[in-house]
């Protein structure tokens, strides 16, 4: 009987408390899938969304920030928050990946990311416009400022890589790298990848990558990016278990700091 219990327990999965922001993102995804929200359409204001979802503005702000970070919406003072002009399949795929980062294995992510990021750096060195190189420089400068201030720089790091992907002028490659973004953030947070000085090392590696991209040294850009991803992989192995996160505080970190009401279903 004990053996049966042991076998049974191996199939149990951790219970995760869903963040209100995740529920809001999922609802927006469903509305896109049903073509109620279309590419190029303006979303209601943050205040209106909070009222319709029956939550505070915090979860709405977090949901919109995450959607904007991965290129699903764009916010400007003049036009508000607008759904990017991407196909419905791409939009839904991006949103789904934000919500289901747990489904990706770390090894799968690292293998594919290494190949795509190396190609991205090579093509960026060959094709980037001066404006795109400036965008990479700005992202890198912001990451270094955050690192020097002792702040956690995961999103700034990822933005540097996304700007390189944009500079390839290959929308498919950019989309593939963007799709991996939520998983990169997820595993890095769980395994505390940026502890023990790694963020400063990564910033120094970004210095070299930016330099060779600016100098149009495509081969060097490809090689340096391979080394950069490889070092991140080595650090990842040293701080976590590739078969699954070991952090005992995982559930606590995943839970909202304040338990609020579940967002209402947004209807039209």
Report how far apart, in Å, the C-alpha atoms of 201 and of each of 140, 157, 171, 220, 263 are. Answer: 13, 12, 29, 18, 41
For residue 188 the two structure tokens come to: 């890095």
- Residue 82: strand pairing partners: 42, 74
Residues 112, 254, 248, CA angle at the centre, nearest 5°? 90
- Which DSSP category does 38 fall into? -
Q: Tell me, what's the pLDDT at 165?
A: 94
Domain ranges in the chain? Answer: 20-95, 106-239
Domain 20-95, CATH class in plain words: mainly alpha
Give tens-digit pLDDT for 52-92: 999 999 999 988 887 887 677 888 888 899 988 766 556 56
CA distance 27 to 68: 16
pLDDT of residue 111: 82
**20-95 matches 106-239 in fold:** no
pLDDT given at position 246: 38
**Residue 239: per-residue pLDDT:** 61
Whether this model's pTM surpasses 0.85: no
Q: What is the pLDDT of residue 74?
A: 85
Tally DSSP H helices, then E strands, for the chain.
12, 2
Architecture of domain 106-239: Up-down Bundle (1.20)
**List of the chain residues with pLDDT < 50:** 1, 241-259
């Amino acid at each position: 009987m004990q053996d049966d219990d042991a076998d049974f327990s191996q199939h149990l999965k951790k219970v995760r408390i869903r963040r209100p922001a995740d529920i809001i993102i999922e609802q927006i995804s469903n509305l896109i899938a049903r073509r109620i929200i279309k590419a190029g359409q303006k979303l209601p204001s943050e205040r209106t969304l909070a009222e319709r979802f029956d939550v505070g503005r915090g979860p709405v702000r977090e949901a919109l920030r995450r959607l904007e970070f991965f290129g699903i919406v764009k916010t400007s003072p003049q036009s508000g928050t607008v759904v990017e002009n991407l196909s419905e399949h791409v939009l839904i795929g991006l949103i789904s990946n934000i919500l289901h980062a747990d489904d990706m294995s770390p090894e799968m992510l690292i293998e594919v990311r290494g190949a795509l990021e190396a190609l991205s750096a090579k093509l960026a060195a060959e094709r980037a416009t001066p404006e795109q190189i400036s965008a990479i420089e700005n992202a890198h400068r912001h990451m270094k400022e955050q690192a020097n201030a002792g702040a956690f720089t995961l999103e700034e790091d990822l933005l540097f890589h996304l700007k390189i992907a944009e500079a390839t002028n290959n929308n498919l490659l950019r989309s593939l790298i963007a799709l991996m973004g939520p998983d990169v953030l997820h595993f890095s947070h769980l395994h505390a990848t940026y502890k023990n000085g790694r963020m400063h090392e990564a910033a120094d590696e970004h210095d070299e990558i930016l330099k060779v991209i600016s100098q149009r040294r495509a081969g060097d850009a490809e090689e340096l990016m391979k080394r950069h991803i490889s070092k991140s992989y080595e650090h990842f192995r040293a701080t976590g278990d590739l078969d699954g996160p070991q952090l005992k505080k995982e559930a606590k970190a995943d839970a909202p700091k304040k338990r609020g009401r579940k967002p209402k279903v947004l209807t039209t």
